[in-house]
Amino acid sequence: MKKTIRFYLALWAAKLTTAVLRMLHRNATHLPGVVALKLCPDFLGRIDKPKTIIAVTGTNGKTTVCNLLDDILPDFGITPLNNRFGGNVRGGIVATFLNASTLGGHLKEDMAVLEIDERSAIHIFKYIHPDYLLVTNLFRDSFKRNAHSEFISDILNSAIPPKTKLIVNADDLIGSHLAPRNPRVAFGIAHREGDWETPQNIVCDMVTCPHCYTTLQYDFVRYNHIGRAHCPNCGYGSLTPKYEITDADTLTRTLTLRSPEGEETYRMLGDNITDWYNTLAAVTVLREVGFDAHGIASSLLKQQIVKSRFEQIEQNGKTVTMLLSKGQNPIACSRSFDFIRRTDGKKAVILLVEDFFDAKHSTENIAWLYDADFEFLNRDDITQILVAGVRAADFRVRLLLAGIPDERILCMREELATADAVDWDAVDNTFVLFDVYTVSFAEAVRDRLQERLNGNNEEVAP
């Protein structure tokens, strides 16, 4: 699309908005985009694009994978245009292009890595046609916004440009079959000890074949619908991965990957299976774009999962583990619960995952609690579960339905009080689960837990 006078006016007005916001020390990650779109609704179609566009979408893991790509690419001499510090909806994407463009609407970057909100794909892909689209996975997410995974799949199917090459998770039967006519490459993790023969979670959105409604036969299930399955009636089933993790060695901290070129070894960035999927997704994207395995492996040696998502602090033989677990996202919370149950030692769990915004003006729809696998916390080695916030009474009911004895559940109004209630004499590891919007509460709890481990047991006034 050509650049029009209207486009230039929108560009300059948006850049002025950015400048004013920065003078006021405010974030310029969304509003300038809104201004540009107001003045020129097809702004994204008219602004210059990089030669190569990598888009990343999916329910879980997209931010982590984008961060990895953004951190690895400079080791290949590429600084990609990215929305790391911007929004992943249309206004944020526009702001990303705006901030990087000249007053003439030109870009200097040759490559972009864009995190795209699934629901916003329909507005963004109308103007931005990614060369590669990574779909990390598709699950149930916020009921209020995303309804169900079929709704999100339908949006993506209608939005994905026909020539875009999909990079999909072979172990995700929903995401891997999106846009069936598009070219695609799949990645996956081979069957591992600890995988199940049948679905174990409360939620499994792939029980029957979407074509003929015959019950699917799972070769293995890892969690929810993640695994490999086939329809015994019509041939529908999991894709064969081109890039497959065949071994994960937690002692040597390495992931062994089978690719068309042979066996490759990469550093294991985290202990959670989702960390492995995220690493594998990033490696697959980079390999498909054309970067060599050796260079990627070398760069991965320097990378780490950002502390805002996962942080472990050891002190006096005890551990505090901070786990980002998006509220209203039952799968993300269930992954955290699964990680906790697989960790050795006596444990306490602090839940700070109630909805921050609903708590301000309304009252949270807590239905999602009943799709999350709180049953995983029903173990003798989890001796305390501490819940704070206005929804604490609802969490208590949910935990009771999971079979957890009432005496292990401690409810309190103030977040910081949970840190004071942890019985450090009885637990080795305290897990703090928090939402992106409750980071400040979580950090205060973490700091207080550390203070107590350092010997300061004086209670902080709520």
* Residue 293 contacts residue 405 (beta carbons within 8 Å): no
Q: Which helix (H) or strand (E) holds 153?
A: helix 149-159
Q: Is 118 in the site for other proteins (CB under 8 A)?
A: no
> Which of 4-12, 301-309, 358-366, 381-389 is the region at the interface with other proteins (rule: CB under 8 A)?
358-366
What is d(CA 441, CA 321) in angstroms, rounded to the nearest whole number? 15
Q: Is 236 in the site for other proteins (CB under 8 A)?
A: no
What is d(CA 242, CA 105) in angstroms, rounded to the nearest whole number? 39
Please pick, from the candidates 15, 46, 62, 140, the single residue that binds other proteins as defined by CB under 8 A: 140
**Nearest distance from C-beta of residue 358 to other proteins, angstroms:** 9
> Which of 42-50, 316-324, 364-372, 446-454 is the region at the interface with other proteins (rule: CB under 8 A)?
364-372
Q: Which is nearer to other proteins, 16 or 393 (CB)?
A: 393
Q: Which is nearer to other proteins, 46 or 398 (CB)?
A: 398
- The residues with which 385 forms a beta bridge, in sequence order, are 349, 409
Around Cβ 52, how many Cβ atoms within 10 Å? 17
**Nearest distance from C-beta of residue 367 to other proteins, angstroms:** 3
Q: Which is nearer to other proteins, 85 or 151 (CB)?
A: 151
* Residue 124 contacts residue 77 (beta carbons within 8 Å): no
**Nearest distance from C-beta of residue 457 to other proteins, angstroms:** 30
Please pick, from the candidates 38, 144, 211, 379, the single residue that binds other proteins as defined by CB under 8 A: 144
Q: Which is nearer to other proteins, 39 or 122 (CB)?
A: 122
> Which of 60-68, 100-108, 295-303, 368-376 is the region at the interface with other proteins (rule: CB under 8 A)?
368-376
Q: Is 306 in the site for other proteins (CB under 8 A)?
A: no
Tokens of 9: 């006016």
Please pick, from the candidates 43, 368, 376, 431, the single residue that binds other proteins as defined by CB under 8 A: 368
Strand runs labelled E in 190-339:
217-223, 226-230, 243-249, 254-259, 262-267, 310-315, 318-324
Q: How many residues sit in the footprint of other proteins (CB under 8 A)?
A: 35
Q: Is 454 in the site for other proteins (CB under 8 A)?
A: no
Q: Is 250 in the site for other proteins (CB under 8 A)?
A: no
> Which of 79-87, 211-219, 295-303, 426-434 is the region at the interface with other proteins (rule: CB under 8 A)?
211-219
Q: Which 369-398 positions form the footprint of other proteins (CB under 8 A)?
A: 369-371, 390, 393-394, 396-397
Q: Which is nearer to other proteins, 219 or 394 (CB)?
A: 394
211, 215, 220, 224 alpha-carbon torsion, rounded to 10°:
80
Q: Is 215 in the site for other proteins (CB under 8 A)?
A: yes
Q: Is 412 in the site for other proteins (CB under 8 A)?
A: no
Tokens of 356: 């921050």
Q: How many helices (H) and strands (E) does the chain have?
A: 15, 17
Strand runs labelled E in 62-145:
81-82, 111-115, 132-135
What is d(CA 45, CA 14) in angstroms, rounded to the nearest whole number? 16
For the CA atoms of the chain, what is the radius of gyration?
23
Q: Is 158 in the site for other proteins (CB under 8 A)?
A: no
Q: Is 117 in the site for other proteins (CB under 8 A)?
A: no
What is d(CA 341, CA 251) in angstroms, rounded to the nearest whole number? 20
Please pick, from the candidates 294, 361, 380, 425, the single residue that binds other proteins as defined by CB under 8 A: 361
Q: Is 211 in the site for other proteins (CB under 8 A)?
A: no
Please pick, from the candidates 1, 9, 400, 426, the single residue that binds other proteins as defined by CB under 8 A: 400
Q: Which is nearer to other proteins, 114 or 402 (CB)?
A: 402
Please pick, from the candidates 298, 304, 363, 440, the single residue that binds other proteins as defined by CB under 8 A: 363
Q: Which 166-195 positions form the footprint of other proteins (CB under 8 A)?
A: none
Q: Is the dihedral of CA 255, 257, 262, 267 positive or negative?
A: negative
What is d(CA 252, CA 263) in angstroms, rounded to the nearest whole number? 16
Closest CA to 12 of 29, 31, 36: 36
In the chain, the N- to C-terminal Cα span, in Å, equals 58
Tokens of 98: 């705006």
Please pick, from the candidates 85, 108, 150, 163, the single residue that binds other proteins as defined by CB under 8 A: 150
Residue owning tokens 């786990």: 323
What is d(CA 30, CA 94) in angstroms, rounded to the nearest whole number? 8
Please pick, from the candidates 202, 297, 306, 412, the single residue that binds other proteins as defined by CB under 8 A: 202
- The residues with which 318 forms a beta bridge, in sequence order, are 315
> Which of 81-89, 126-134, 203-211, 270-278 is the region at the interface with other proteins (rule: CB under 8 A)?
203-211
* Residue 65 contacts residue 15 (beta carbons within 8 Å): no
What is d(CA 340, CA 260) in angstroms, rounded to the nearest whole number? 35
Tell me the one-letter amino acid at 331: I
Q: Give the interface with other proteins as residue ranges (CB under 8 A).
A: 140, 143-145, 147-148, 150-151, 154, 202-203, 207-208, 213-215, 330, 361-363, 365-371, 390, 393-394, 396-397, 400-401, 406
